């Protein structure tokens, strides 16, 4: 997988910020290097420069090489395409939600490793006079630099390892198969048959109860690959992003306990951890709570749990720690009407695992 940055002007950036959950479906540019070398499975980070900072809005996973406008219009019939020579269309099963406020300061930008046409690695000056121009043209970056941008965006998909297999989503535990946190910025599942239809803003209890069978297919092969390339990408856990997107919709993009609504501080938290869940349970939206980073850390470690009525069990926390964490005791419950029978079933298993029952 190769990684690139692609510049959006400030006006386009601000327009996207005003949209509700804007999806990054394509980029358009000139048919010249390095844009011309983008291939299926490569990642493109959309960026802009302002206030002496580089802003990173999200990531596009390319569906294929750059194509002409007529072909792009066929793949994206509902989009009003800007007039460009070539277009790279996103893999529509791996769409990111645009983020407008994630930024890197000058020192961070200057540390990014840039690959030139001859394969040599260098750096951008990104000084007071050059910062608005340094990333105007598409830029190829090293994997270590791409990793920094993913971290900024809370995207944890790792590149292929030496065995030729994608290692999936990074775990915050030392064991790869331990509870894998979902820190993707999007991952909305939009197949060709649904991409021009308006997506629901919330899931009903019936929808979330019935979604497990559809979300259970973790391994998806990507089109347009042969041989080793197909093997590299086919095992990516694409439905991790779908799981987060489902929770964002169901919980109205807010922590279900505290009400925090900044997506950078929200974690799609499994109730029954990844390592202890079955394959179908791992992708089941009812096996998830959308929590702020504080509540996720407590819940993930079993320091708290929740009763069937949604009230938090804080028995393992003393008053001093609750104060230090800034927990508002008037906001320590999940709305009971939002909990389905399947939610309660998973919560019961969480309580049993951590000794609350």
For the segment 288-345, what is each residue's pLDDT rounded down to a tens digit? 999 999 999 999 999 999 999 999 999 999 888 999 999 999 999 999 999 999 999 9
CA distance 318 to 303: 11
CA distance 86 to 256: 43
Nearest by Cα to 3 from 46, 55, 57: 46
pTM check: above 0.75? no
CA distance 58 to 56: 6
pLDDT band for position 55 (cuts 50, 70, 90):
very high
Q: Which of 16-20, 111-115, 157-161 shows the lowest mean pLDDT across its residues?
A: 157-161
Span 135-190, pLDDT tens digits: 999 999 999 999 999 988 887 544 333 333 333 333 333 333 333 333 333 333 32
Q: What percent of the chain has pLDDT over 90?
A: 54
Q: What percent of the chain has pLDDT over 70?
A: 76
Span 231-283, pLDDT tens digits: 444 443 445 678 888 899 899 899 999 999 998 899 999 999 988 889 889 88
Residue 239's pLDDT is 55
Residue 216's pLDDT is 34
End-to-end CA separation in angstroms for the chain: 47
CB 60 within 8 A of CB 96: yes
Tell me the backbone φ, ψ of residue 252, rounded to 5 degrees: 55, 40
Span 57-100, pLDDT tens digits: 999 999 999 999 999 999 998 888 989 999 999 988 888 889 88
Q: What is the DSSP letter of 59?
A: E
């Amino acid at each position: 997988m190769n990684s690139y940055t692609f510049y959006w002007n400030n006006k386009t950036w601000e327009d996207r910020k005003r949209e509700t959950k804007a999806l990054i479906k394509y980029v358009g540019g000139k048919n010249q290097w390095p844009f011309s070398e983008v291939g299926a499975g490569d990642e493109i980070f959309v960026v802009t420069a302002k206030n002496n900072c580089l802003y990173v809005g999200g990531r596009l996973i390319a569906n294929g090489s750059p194509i002409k406008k007529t072909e792009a219009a066929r793949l994206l019939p509902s989009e009003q395409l800007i007039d460009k020579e070539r277009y790279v269309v996103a893999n529509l099963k791996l769409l990111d939600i645009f983020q407008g406020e994630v930024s890197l300061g000058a020192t961070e930008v200057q540390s990014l490793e840039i690959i030139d046409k001859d394969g040599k690695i260098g750096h951008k000056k990104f000084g007071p006079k050059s910062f608005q121009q340094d990333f105007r043209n598409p830029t190829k970056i090293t994997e270590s630099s791409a990793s920094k941008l993913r971290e900024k965006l809370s995207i944890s998909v790792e590149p292929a390892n030496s065995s030729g297999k994608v290692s999936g989503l990074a775990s915050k535990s030392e064991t790869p198969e331990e509870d894998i946190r979902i820190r993707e910025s999007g991952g909305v599942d939009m197949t060709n048959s649904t991409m021009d239809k308006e997506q629901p803003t919330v899931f009903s209890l019936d929808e979330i109860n019935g979604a497990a069978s559809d979300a259970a297919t973790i391994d998806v092969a990507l089109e347009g690959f042969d041989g080793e390339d197909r093997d590299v990408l086919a095992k990516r856990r694409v439905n991790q992003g779908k799981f987060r997107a489902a929770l964002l919709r169901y919980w109205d993009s807010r922590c279900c306990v505290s009400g925090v609504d900044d997506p950078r501080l929200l974690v799609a938290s499994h109730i029954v951890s990844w390592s202890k869940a079955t394959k179908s349970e791992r992708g089941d939206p009812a096996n998830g709570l959308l929590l702020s980073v504080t509540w996720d850390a407590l819940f993930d470690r079993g320091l708290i749990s929740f009763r069937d009525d949604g009230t938090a069990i804080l028995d393992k926390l003393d008053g001093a720690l609750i104060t230090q964490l800034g927990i508002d005791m008037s906001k320590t419950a999940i709305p009971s009407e939002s909990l389905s029978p399947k939610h309660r079933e998973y919560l019961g298993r969480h309580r049993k695992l951590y000794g609350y029952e």
